[in-house]
Every structure is written in C-alpha cells, then in structure tokens.
C-alpha cells in the first residue's frame, strides 16, 4: 500500500495509523466485513474473524481528515 503523503482536502501531511478494536480485554486491529451485520445473542454481532480485512487509516496533521483502507497489509505484524 502506497503511503499517502499529501491530504486530499488541505494538502497537509498524512501519517499512517489504525483504529484499535477494544473487545473482551484484548486490543485488535479493526476489520471490514462484506454485507450487513447479523445479530448474535452472546456477541451482539455475528462475525467470522477469518473473513475480515484489516483496516488502516491515514490522518492529516493539519486538518484531521481521516482516510480508511481495507487491505491485508494492515494486519498486526
């Protein structure tokens, strides 16, 4: 994934980051899942972690604009 260096809104500097998912005492990288969410009694939402695509985010230091991408390369190292 090419790192965007200029903000599309104000031309400020963009930096790569991620949105953490705080669940059940663990911290994970948020992920994108195809389709509409399905309800689950125990977990609120039924989801297959294997089918998720990690989400990476780029933030502008000048205006705060956020740009999100779903790509396997954003998984935790």
pLDDT tens digits, one per residue of 10-33: 999 999 999 898 877 888 888 888
Q: Where are the domains of the chain?
A: 14-74
pLDDT tens digits, one per residue of 22-76: 877 888 888 888 888 778 777 667 776 678 899 999 999 999 999 999 999 998 8
Q: Which H/E stretch holds residue 75? A: none
Token output for 65 = 């604009």
Separation CA 63–CA 60 (nearest Å): 6
């Amino acid at each position: 994934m090419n790192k965007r260096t200029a903000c599309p809104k104000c031309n400020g500097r963009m930096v790569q980051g991620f949105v953490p998912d705080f669940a059940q005492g663990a911290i994970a990288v948020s992920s994108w899942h195809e389709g509409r969410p399905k309800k689950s009694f125990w977990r609120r939402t039924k989801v297959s972690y294997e089918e998720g695509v990690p989400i990476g985010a780029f933030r502008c230091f000048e205006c705060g604009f956020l740009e999100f991408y779903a790509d396997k390369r954003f998984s935790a190292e």
